[in-house]
């Protein structure tokens, strides 16, 4: 079988979960080969191997580390020319999509962004128009490049051969156009990242700006906290918390919407969650059309009671 390149999304050597999801999807298309930009570190390569990487290309280059996306796209172009993969899979992050676009131009290929599934044969599924249409598409020119949304597949802990190969890329001056001048890790909240969390507890205008009950439940469940746009526009939470069409797309195992009416633009960011629970004091709220479980009540009373119960059962 031929190789499928999976571009590793990692921060300071910590591989993010969406990469492990891509390795699982890549197996449908061929043999997963991870491409890691960073030092040859066994903690990294062992993990990629454990989740199915047959081969791991380590690209350790100061020129790549010091600059934004362009040098990575150039290195990938050279790797694609060497390995002739069946496809290149990239996480649908801002950086991932820029890498995909730049690479597509360089290798004269088609690109599909924000896929939520990939079938054998390279047919990618996208969820468009706020989740109202599902589109299946296939790249017809060159090596397909597909960016995949986080939480679109489950990581599979099935070891691959994990052969490590150092790849020396040649980075041109033309690619060194945007230098990193400072980088700061996200402020540690102790909570999982919103798009990667298995459980998301969100609050909307119905919180009245008091997120204590929402955050209490989130912490009891080990969940991330999300917010509707109304809550963000009111200044109660920063935009990085927003779930929806103009915010983040989440697809956790469990999504708990509290004081959120269920506008189409909010649904666009959460309706693919596996189980949806809503707490809303209005039994006519549209969110109840898509829930698995609904509670009609005041979130400030319901959530502390649920939090107590969850804490008791731990
Ligand atoms: P509301 O619609 O005001 O609903 C509040 C709910 O809280 C009500 O159902 C009420 O019954 C309930 N409630 C009140 N008090 C309590 C209580 N004590 N206990 C329990 N329930 C209570 N929205 C997003 O969320 N994400 C987006 O990305 C997004 N993008 C948009 C893009 C565009 C172009 C546009 C036009 C809109 C977008 N919106 C987005 C806004 C969207 O249309 C809604 O206005 C927004 O989602 C409403 O937020 P909400 O549900 O918190 O507020």
Give the pocket of ligand 1 (CB within 6 Å).
204-206, 228-231, 242-247, 259-261, 263, 265-266, 269, 279-282, 285, 298-300
What are the strands, taking DSSP E only, across the chain? 3-7, 10-11, 14-15, 31-37, 55-59, 87-91, 111-119, 123-128, 133-137, 145-148, 163-166, 199-203, 224-227, 254-258, 275-280, 293-296
Query: What pTM value is reported for the model?
Result: 0.81
What is the model's pLDDT at position 150?
Answer: 83
What is the model's pLDDT at position 136?
Answer: 97
What is the model's pLDDT at position 8?
Answer: 98
Tens digits of residue pLDDT in 68-124: 999 999 999 999 999 999 999 999 988 999 999 999 999 999 999 999 899 989 999
If you measure from the C-alpha of residue 218 to the centroid of ligand 1, how many angstroms do you get, rounded to a whole number?
19
Q: How are strands ordered across the β-sheet holding 55-59? A: 133-137, 123-128, 111-119, 145-148, 87-91, 3-7, 31-37, 55-59, 163-166
Ligand 1 pocket check: which of 228, 232, 268, 285 to mutate, most ligand atoms within 8 Å of Cβ? 228
If you measure from the C-alpha of residue 203 to the centroid of ligand 1, how many angstroms do you get, rounded to a whole number?
9
What is the model's pLDDT at position 1?
Answer: 63
Asked whether the CA dihedral 233, 238, 244, 246 is positive or negative, the reply is positive
What is the model's pLDDT at position 12?
Answer: 85
User: Residue 223 is encoded by which pair of tokens?
Assistant: 């969940």
Ligand 1 pocket check: which of 129, 201, 229 to mutate, most ligand atoms within 8 Å of Cβ? 229
* Residues of the chain below pLDDT 70: 1, 130-131, 186
């Amino acid at each position: 079988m031929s190789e499928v390149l999976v571009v590793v999304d990692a921060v300071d050597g910590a591989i993010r979960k969406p990469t492990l999801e891509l390795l699982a999807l890549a197996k449908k298309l061929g043999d997963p080969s991870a491409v890691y930009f960073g030092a040859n570190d066994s903690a990294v390569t062992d993990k990629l191997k454990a989740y199915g990487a047959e081969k791991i290309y380590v690209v350790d280059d100061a020129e790549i580390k010091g600059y934004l996306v362009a040098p990575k796209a150039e290195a990938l172009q050279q790797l694609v020319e060497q390995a002739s993969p069946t496809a290149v899979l990239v996480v649908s992050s801002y950086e991932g999509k820029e890498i995909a676009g730049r690479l597509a131009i360089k290798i004269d290929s088609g690109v599909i962004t924000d896929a939520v599934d990939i079938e054998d044969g390279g047919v990618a599924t996208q969820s468009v128009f706020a989740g109202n249409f599902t589109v299946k598409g296939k790249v017809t020119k060159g090596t397909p490049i597909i960016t995949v949304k986080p939480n679109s597949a489950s990581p599979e802990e099935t070891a691959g051969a994990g052969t490590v190969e150092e790849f020396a890329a040649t980075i041109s001056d033309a690619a060194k156009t945007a230098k990193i001048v400072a980088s700061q890790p996200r402020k540690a909240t102790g909570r999982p990242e919103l798009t990667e969390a298995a459980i998301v507890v969100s609050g909307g205008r119905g919180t009245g700006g008091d997120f204590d009950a929402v955050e209490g439940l989130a912490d009891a469940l080990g969940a991330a906290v999300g917010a509707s746009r109304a809550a963000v526009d009111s200044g109660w939470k920063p935009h990085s918390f927003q779930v929806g069409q103009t915010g983040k797309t989440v697809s956790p195992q469990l999504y708990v919407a509290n004081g959120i009416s269920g506008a189409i633009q909010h649904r666009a960011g959460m309706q693919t969650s596996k189980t949806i629970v809503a707490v809303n004091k209005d039994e006519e709220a549209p969110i109840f059309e898509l829930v698995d479980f609904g509670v009609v009540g005041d979130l400030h009373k319901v959530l502390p009671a649920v939090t107590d119960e969850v804490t008791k059962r731990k």
